[in-house]
Amino acid sequence: MKLLVRWGLTLGLAGSVMFAGLPGMNNLQALALPQEQVVKTLQEVPVFTLTNPKGEFVVISRKNESKTISQIGFFISKKDAQTFLEGRLKKENPKLASTIQVRPVSLADYYKLVVENNKKKDSAVVFTLVPTKQQIDVARTMLNAGGKPGQQFNGIPLFVPKFKQGNSYLTIPQGKERFIPFYFEKEQAVALLDAFKKAKPQEAANTEIQVVDLYGVIDTLNSSNDPSTNKIFLFPSRESIEFIRSIVPNQPKKK
C-alpha cells in the first residue's frame, strides 16, 4: 500500500508527547486535493484525533533504533480516542492531558494529510488510523473460518453484503440511485442481510458477508475505471452515526 502507512499496533507511549509542527486542523483545506472521487467517498465518515486548543495535533514521539518516529493517531471510534486520552495520556502527563480534547475530522481529511505527507522525502511522521479491536477480531475470525490467514489482517475492516454467485453486491436505494454499502461494523451488514432475507427469502442462501480492507478500497477508488466504484458508500459505525446526529440535532433520522 503506497498511499497509506499501516501500523499493526495501536499507538504506544514509549516516548515524549508534543504538538505537531505541521498544518493543523484549521488548515486542512489548503492541502492539495487528491482524486475527487476518493475524497467524496471518504467525506461522510468521521474519525477522531487529539488536539490542543489551537487545533494542533498531538504527536507521540519515540526512538526506533537511531531514528525518531512521530505518530499522530486517528481513531475510528470516538470512545477509543477518549479512552486513549483518559487512560494513557492523563496517566503519563496529567497536566498536559488536561489541555487536550478529542476532535472529529472526516476520513477524507485524514486521507489528504497522508497523501501530502507521503510527498515529503524521509518524513518521520506516521499518521496512524486505529480500528476498533472488536471489529478487527471479527474480521480475523471470518477470514480464519474462510481458510484465509486472518491473523495477518492489520488493516481497517469493512464488511460488505454480497451474492455468492456472480460476485455481485447488494445495493441500497438513495433517491433515484442505488449504492453499494460498505460497513465499519459487521453487525450493520448483518442487519441489512436480515432485512433482505425477509424480503426475498428465496435468495437468502446465495448471500454472504465479505470482509475487505479500507486501504484496498481506497486503492480501487484511485486506480479503477469501473463506473460501479462511484456507487461505493461507506457507512459510519453506529457510534459515529449517533455522534453525527448529536452535532446536527435538527437533521431527520434516516434508517
Instruction: Give the start-to-end residue ranges of the domains of the chain.
Output: 16-130, 133-247
At 253 the pLDDT is: 52
Query: CATH topology of 16-130 equal to that of 133-247?
Result: yes
* Residue 192 to residue 82: CA distance in whole angstroms: 30
d(CA 51, CA 147): 42
First to last CA, the chain: 34
Inform me whether the pLDDT recorded for 191 exceeds 90: yes
Local structure of 75: helix, strand or coil = strand
The percent of residues above 70 in pLDDT, for the chain, comes to: 83
Using 50, 70 and 90 to split pLDDT, how confident is the model at 209? Answer: very high
Average pLDDT over residues 153-173: 87
Mean pLDDT over residues 5-17, rounded? 36
In CATH, the number for domain 133-247 is: 3.40.1350.100
pLDDT at 25: 38
* Contacts with 70 (C-beta within 8 Å, 6 or more apart), sequence order: 20, 59, 60, 61, 124, 125, 126
CA pair distance 39, 22, nearest whole angstrom = 21
pLDDT mean over 154-169: 88
Neighbours of 43 (CB within 10 A): 14
Is pLDDT above 90 for 157?
A: yes
pLDDT tier for residue 235 given thresholds of 50, 70 and 90: very high
Q: pLDDT tier at 182 (50, 70, 90 boundaries)?
A: very high
Cell representation of residue 157: 475492516
The mean of the pLDDT values for the chain is 80
* Banded model confidence at residue 19, pLDDT cuts 50, 70, 90: very low
pLDDT at 30 over 80: no
Position 122 pLDDT exceeds 50: yes
Examine the pLDDT at 5 and tell me if it is beyond 50: no
Q: Enter the CATH code of domain 16-130.
A: 3.40.1350.100
Evaluate if residue 143 carries a pLDDT over 60: yes
Q: Which of 58-72, 93-107, 164-178, 187-201 has the lowest mean pLDDT?
A: 58-72
**In 165-181, which positions are buried (b, 16+ CB within 10 angstroms) versus exposed (e)?**
eeeebbebeeeeeebbb
Contact 156, 187 (CB under 8 A): no
What local confidence, expressed as pLDDT, does residue 252 receive?
53
Give mean pLDDT, residues 220-245.
87
Q: In terms of C-beta density within 10 A (0-12 exposed, 13-18 middle, 19 or more buried), how is residue 22 classed?
A: middle
Among 3-17, 53-67, 88-102, 194-208, the range scoring the smallest mean pLDDT is 3-17
Q: With H, G, I as helix, E, B as strand and everything else as coil, classify residue 14.
A: coil
Q: Would you tell me how many other CB atoms lie within 10 Å of the CB of residue 222?
A: 15
pTM recorded for the entire structure: 0.81
